[in-house]
Amino acid sequence: MHSSAVAMPVKRMIQLNKLFRGQFLRCIFSSRLSRSQSNLTADRYNVKRGPYGSVSQDDIGVFRNMLEPHRVVTDATELEAYNEDWLRTVAGQSKVMLKPRNTDEVSTIMQHCYKKNLAVCPQGGNTGLVGGSVPVFDEVIISTQLMNKIFSVDTLSGVMICQSGCILENLNKSLSEHNLIMPLDLGAKGSCTIGGNLSTNAAGIRFLRYGSLRGSVLGIKAVLADGTVLDTMTSVRKDNTGYDLKQLLIGSEGTLGVITEISLLTPIKPACVNLAFFGADSFEDLTSMMKLARRSLGEIVSAIEFLDHDCMQEVQTQLGYSNPISRYPFYMLVETSGSNAQHDEEKLTVFVEKCLESALAKDGTVATDLGKIEAIWSLRETIAEALKKRGYTYKYDISLPTNEMYKLVEIMRDRMEGLCTVYGYGHLGDGNLHLNLVTDEYDQEIMSKIEPFVYEYTSEMKGSVSAEHGLGFKKKDFIGMSKHSSAVSVMQQLKNLFDPKGILNPYKTIPSS
Ligand code: FAD
Ligand code: MLT
Ligand code: ZN
Within this chain, do residues 89 and 184 fall inside the same structural domain, yes or no?
no
| 398 alpha carbon – ligand 3 mean position (Å) | 9
| Nearest atom of ligand 1 to the alpha carbon of 123 | 3
Q: Which residues contact 381 (CB under 8 A, 6 or more apart)?
A: 21, 25, 186, 187, 205
pLDDT category of residue 16 using cuts at 50, 70 and 90: very low
Find out whether the beta carbon of 383 lies less than 6 Å from any atom of ligand 2: yes
The dihedral built from the CA positions of residue 192, 193, 196 and 198, taken in this order, carries a sign that is positive
Domain presence at residue 376: yes
Q: Judge contact between 105 and 142, C-beta under 8 A.
A: no
Number of structural domains in the chain? 4
Within this chain, do residues 211 and 256 fall inside the same structural domain, yes or no?
yes
> Exposed (0-12), middle (13-18) or buried (19+): which is 295, by Cβ within 10 Å?
exposed
Domain presence at residue 277: yes
The residue type at 462: K
CATH of the domain at 463: 3.30.70.2740
Using DSSP bridges, classify how beta strands 392-399 and 363-367 pair: parallel, antiparallel or unpaired: unpaired
Give the separation between CA 436 and CA 112, rounded to whole angstroms.
41
Angle, alpha carbons 312-207-19 (nearest 5°): 40
pLDDT of residue 512: 85
| Nearest atom of ligand 2 to the alpha carbon of 187 | 3
Give the separation between CA 224 and CA 238, rounded to whole angstroms.
25
Closest CA to 176 of 147, 210, 153: 153
| Nearest atom of ligand 2 to the alpha carbon of 436 | 9
Domain end among 85, 120, 143: 143
| Nearest atom of ligand 2 to the alpha carbon of 426 | 2
Question: Whose C-alpha lies nearest to ligand 2, atom 3?
Answer: 381
In a 3-state reduction of DSSP, which class is residue 152? strand
Find out whether the beta carbon of 202 lies less than 6 Å from any atom of ligand 2: no
Give the separation between CA 417 and CA 79, rounded to whole angstroms.
39
Give the separation between CA 92 and CA 137, rounded to whole angstroms.
5
Give the separation between CA 470 and CA 468, rounded to whole angstroms.
6
| Domain around 448 | 391-488
CA atoms within 13 A on the CB side of 413: 10
Within this chain, do residues 332 and 409 fall inside the same structural domain, yes or no?
no
Within this chain, do residues 370 and 315 fall inside the same structural domain, yes or no?
yes
Q: Is the pLDDT of residue 119 over 80?
A: yes
Q: Judge contact between 263 and 257, C-beta under 8 A.
A: no
Closest CA to 321 of 331, 391, 352: 331
Q: How far is CA 302 from CA 275, 276, 311, 363, 430, in A?
A: 10, 12, 22, 21, 11
> What are the two backbone dihedrals, phi and then psi, of residue 452, each rounded to the nearest 5 degrees?
-90, 10
| 426 alpha carbon – ligand 2 mean position (Å) | 7
Find out whether the beta carbon of 188 lies less than 6 Å from any atom of ligand 1: yes
The mean of the pLDDT values for the chain is: 93
Q: Is the pLDDT of residue 6 over 60?
A: no
Tell me the mean pLDDT in the region 90-117.
Answer: 98
Which of 123, 172, 207 for a ligand 1 pocket mutation test, highest count of atoms within 8 Å of Cβ? Answer: 123
Which of 85, 86, 87, 129 for a ligand 2 pocket mutation test, highest count of atoms within 8 Å of Cβ? Answer: 129
pLDDT category of residue 12 using cuts at 50, 70 and 90: very low
Q: What is the pLDDT of residues 401-414, one digit of tens each?
A: 999 999 999 999 99
Within this chain, do residues 375 and 399 fall inside the same structural domain, yes or no?
no
In a 3-state reduction of DSSP, which class is residue 193? strand
Q: What is the pLDDT of residues 447-503, one digit of tens each?
A: 999 999 999 999 999 999 999 999 999 999 999 999 999 999 999 999 999 999 999
Within this chain, do residues 134 and 167 fall inside the same structural domain, yes or no?
no
Nearest listed ligand to the Cα of residue 206: 1
Using DSSP bridges, classify how beta strands 272-280 and 330-338 pair: parallel, antiparallel or unpaired: antiparallel
Domain end among 108, 143, 178: 143
Give the separation between CA 339 and CA 300, rounded to whole angstroms.
9
Q: Judge contact between 93 and 119, C-beta under 8 A.
A: no
| Nearest atom of ligand 1 to the alpha carbon of 508 | 9
pLDDT category of residue 36 using cuts at 50, 70 and 90: very low
| Nearest atom of ligand 2 to the alpha carbon of 387 | 9
Find out whether the beta carbon of 426 lies less than 6 Å from any atom of ligand 1: no
Question: Whose C-alpha lies nearest to ligand 2, atom 9?
Answer: 384
Find out whether the beta carbon of 384 lies less than 6 Å from any atom of ligand 2: yes
pLDDT category of residue 39 using cuts at 50, 70 and 90: confident
| 426 alpha carbon – ligand 3 mean position (Å) | 6
Which of 85, 130, 186 for a ligand 2 pocket mutation test, highest count of atoms within 8 Å of Cβ? Answer: 186
CATH of the domain at 81: 3.30.43.10
Domain presence at residue 508: no
Give the separation between CA 160 and CA 217, rounded to whole angstroms.
10
Q: Is the pLDDT of residue 35 over 70?
A: no
pLDDT of residue 513: 77
Domain presence at residue 504: no
pLDDT of residue 86: 98
Q: What is the pLDDT of residues 167-218, one digit of tens each?
A: 999 999 999 999 999 999 999 999 999 999 999 999 999 999 999 999 999 9
Rounded percentage of the chain residues whose pLDDT exceeds 90: 92
Radius of gyration of the chain (CA): 23
